[in-house]
Copies of this chain bind each other. A is one copy, B any other.
Amino acid sequence: MTELNRQILLVSRPEGEASVDNFKLVETPLRPLEDGQVRVRNHYLSLDPYMRGRMSDAKSYAPPQPLNEVMIGGTVGVVIESKHPKFKAGDKVVGGFGWQEFGTSDGTGLKIVDDTHVPLSAYLGAVGMPGVTGWYGLNRVIEAKAGETIVVSAASGAVGGVVGQLAKAAGCRAVGIAGGEDKCRYVVESLGFDACVDYKAGNLYQDLKAATPDGVHGYFENVGGDVLDATLARMNAFGRIAVCGMIAGYDGRPLPIKNPRIILTQRLKLQGFIVSEHLDIWPEALKELGGMVAQKKLHFRESIAVGLENAPDAFLGLLKGRNFGKQLVKLI
């Protein structure tokens, strides 16, 4: 009997907000493995905000996700069959098989990882793309120095949590911005930030001002909109802003910067970046992040949806901040 591979395709592009109707679950028979191929049973699928950009065909840094193909995405899993000399059954691998239960590959982009000291799922979070994103923005764009105040939005998320913990380790004051009391408590108590501002409490600027008595030297931006405006108004002279994401505008809403004159008056640097364009720093970053996770010096939290069929809803929740920590889909 031929085994079936459940897959989720993008079947339409959102007009405004994305919806579950943009996706479709299909079952596709697995073909016999060919020479040079390896087959992986995916254990976890990573859901990340960048995927919302790929759903649209607006001009961006990456081509849009093609319609009627399996949604892209990072995965971790276990090799179940191999006709490839570099892989054997049982190998734990990280790759980009997208929203499906099985992946078949010629090995390109597939990397064997060790889950002895680092949980397999962490290779999609703190020791994967999100972690490296935080590392790059903090170290190469913000260039944080000891004694400085570093603010990060979406602080309880996969990227934000890493930014604040690395900032603390570098001797900075780390201030998070997150949505809701629970997330803020977690950011301070579990991740060790110095403070966290709840943007849903309705007093964002005043609360941020109280949390940043020396102003803000560096800001890691994941959100945009009101959160960016409030933080801009707290920036010190020569402040640096790493623009990693603007999730508040991913559904096409206008997301202006209300007072960009502060870029001039405070001589700020704003720099957008995409971590996949800086592959040279990945080995250094992953080594540091993996070491910290293994030594329990870098903490993270996961929101796990169970079952491929729940990926679309979990993804839409991520866009609205319903996740708490790194959003994953458990596939087995």
**A interface vs B, CB < 8 Å?**
53, 59-61, 224, 228, 237, 243-246, 249, 254-261, 263-274, 277
- Docked CA distance A146–B317 (Å): 47
A61 / chain B contacts, CB cutoff of 8 Å? 237, 265-267
Q: Tell me if A's interface is mostly helix, strand, loop or mixed.
A: loop
Partner pick for A256 among B256, B266, B268, B277, CB 8 A cutoff: B256
- Docked CA distance A237–B59 (Å): 11
Partner pick for A269 among B60, B254, B271, CB 8 A cutoff: B271
- Docked CA distance A246–B258 (Å): 13
Partner pick for A265 among B53, B237, B263, B268, CB 8 A cutoff: B53
Are A272 and B267 interface neighbours, CB within 8 A?
yes
- Docked CA distance A257–B263 (Å): 11
Are A246 and B272 interface neighbours, CB within 8 A?
no
A228 / chain B contacts, CB cutoff of 8 Å? 260
Closest residue of chain B to A237 (Cβ to Cβ) is B61
Are B245 and A60 interface neighbours, CB within 8 A?
no
Are A243 and B272 interface neighbours, CB within 8 A?
no
A269 / chain B contacts, CB cutoff of 8 Å? 269-272
With contacts A269-B269, A270-B269 taken as known, whether A243 is within 8 angstroms of B258 at the C-beta atoms is no
Q: Would you list the 3 A-B pairs with minimal beta carbon distance, nearest first?
A: A256-B256, A264-B272, A257-B257
From A249, A257, A258, A261, name the one whose CB has the most chain B CB atoms within 10 angstroms: A261
Q: How many whole Å from A129's CB to the nearest CB in chain B? A: 16
A274 / chain B contacts, CB cutoff of 8 Å? 267
A267 / chain B contacts, CB cutoff of 8 Å? 61, 271-274, 277
Q: How many copies does the complex hold?
A: 2
A249 / chain B contacts, CB cutoff of 8 Å? 261
With contacts A260-B224, A270-B270 taken as known, whether A60 is within 8 angstroms of B255 at the C-beta atoms is no
- Docked CA distance A237–B60 (Å): 9
- Docked CA distance A308–B261 (Å): 31
A255 / chain B contacts, CB cutoff of 8 Å? 259-261
- Docked CA distance A268–B237 (Å): 20
Closest residue of chain B to A268 (Cβ to Cβ) is B272
A244 / chain B contacts, CB cutoff of 8 Å? 264
A260 / chain B contacts, CB cutoff of 8 Å? 224, 228, 243, 246, 255-257
- Docked CA distance A73–B228 (Å): 35
A270 / chain B contacts, CB cutoff of 8 Å? 263, 268-271
Are B272 and A265 interface neighbours, CB within 8 A?
yes
Closest residue of chain B to A249 (Cβ to Cβ) is B261
Q: How many whole Å from A240's CB to the nearest CB in chain B? A: 10
Are B272 and A60 interface neighbours, CB within 8 A?
no
